[in-house]
Amino acid sequence: QAQLVESGGGLVQAGGSLRLSCEASGSISSPNVMGWYRQAPGKQRELVAVIGTGGVTNYADSVKGRFFISRDNGKNTVFLQMNSLKPEDTAVYYCNLKGLHALVYWGQGTQVTISS
């Protein structure tokens, strides 16, 4: 079992930046895919960005060019640098890890609120 702990959420004004971190601990398979999903009130949870152990990334169209995902394999940590934030980015952001044998783990979520 793996455990994911997010940090870095908060309130920021539109146009600002925020950096989320998620550290994984426990039994972590390699290779794996780590990433971020978000869920706004009344909406479905959606993929924001994911990154594999080797660095291959995938971004939602809505965040391309603004958000950047990275990871530190040595620290089992994934980051999400969010720039040019918009009110529509407001959501609970969840860290996610997909490992071997289709094992999936989720963090508790961290609130990101962008004010206009």
For 56-65, write each residue's pLDDT tens digit: 999 999 999 9
15's tokens: 């146009």
At 31, the pLDDT band (50, 70, 90 cuts) reads: very high
The amino acid that residue 29 corresponds to is S
For tokens 């391309």, what's the residue?
Answer: 64
User: What whole-number percentage of the chain has pLDDT above 70?
Assistant: 100
| CA distances (Å), origin 90, targets 86, 97, 106 | 8, 22, 19
Confidence (pLDDT) at 107: 98
Q: What letter does residue 60 receive in the DSSP assignment?
A: -
